[in-house]
Amino acid sequence: MDTESTESTERLTIRRPDDWHLHLRDGAALAAVVGHSARRFARAIVMPNLRPPVVTTADALAYRARILAALPRGADFTPLMTLYLTEATTPEELRAAKASGVVHAVKLYPAGATTNSAAGVRDLMTPAITAALATMEAIDLPLLIHGEVTDPEVDIFDREAVFIDRLLRPLVERFSRLRVVLEHVTTADGVDFVRGYGSAAEGGRVGATITAHHLLLNRNHLLVGGVQPHHYCLPVLKRERHRRALVAAATSGDRRFFLGTDSAP
């Protein structure tokens, strides 16, 4: 990082950043938005929740080719591909993904939790899912998690905290070498959970992405004065104390927290 000063201005120069959580969609939407990310970011972890989802290495290679074809001429941008975890995901497919050098992680969507998540996981502890997780642990293929329960009895503002207690903590303890990223963390509970593994200076096997909008806004921005639809997002905005916890994590220098814009057309 370099700083140049004059009498009236100060310029701060940083290395070109990466986006560790990006949706590019496909078709016309992909063509419309990929240039915006390519202008600002060097690399991005590309989410696999297309219709149909990216579930095989062949799917990921084909999607990567479409992304590269849609880039503006001269763009220097590397899409880092992911697979969508389902009950049909096999250890063989995961090994092929790792060997490809193109697939960098696997995304876990609880079924029904967010956009295009209908094909996601309904039970983390089925034989098929635990076999997939054990394989990922063995070959060092990270798991990216949309960390919310879909239980209708759980208040929408509590879905991340409940997911951590019910599902994420047992998963991380059972698969003790699996690298895990809690995507778009929104709560102090999530921040505290991540801090329980590794260290700020060296990082650890558990991390979290943080979005700009969850740093800027709390649920008052969504609800006060009537519903503000332009502030609606998933996961939903939380209390101010949670926003402050995210800001503290993002500005702490802790290597376990990093930018994932969750940009999504």
Q: pLDDT per residue over 109-141, tens digit each?
A: 998 888 778 888 999 999 999 999 999 999 999
What was the pLDDT predicted at 4? 60
pTM: 0.93
Is 26 or 111 the better-scoring residue by pLDDT? 26
Phi, psi of 225 (to 5 degrees): 80, 20
Predicted confidence band of residue 6 (pLDDT cuts 50, 70, 90): low
Q: pLDDT per residue over 81-106, tens digit each?
A: 999 999 999 999 999 999 999 999 99
Would you kindly state where each structural domain of the chain is located, as residue ranges?
Answer: 2-259
Q: What span, in angstroms and rounded, lies between the C-alpha atoms of 181 and 179? A: 7
What was the pLDDT predicted at 1? 60
> Which class is 2-259 in CATH?
alpha beta
The residues annotated with a catalytic role in the active site are 262
Cis bond leading into 110, ω under 30°?
no
What was the pLDDT predicted at 263? 97
Residue 31 has pLDDT above 90, yes or no: yes
Q: How many CB atoms lie within 10 A of CB 247?
A: 14
* Structure tokens given for 169: 């903590």
Average pLDDT over residues 240-246: 99
Predicted confidence band of residue 222 (pLDDT cuts 50, 70, 90): very high
First to last CA, the chain: 31
Percent over 70 (pLDDT), the chain: 97
What was the pLDDT predicted at 117? 81
Predicted confidence band of residue 70 (pLDDT cuts 50, 70, 90): very high
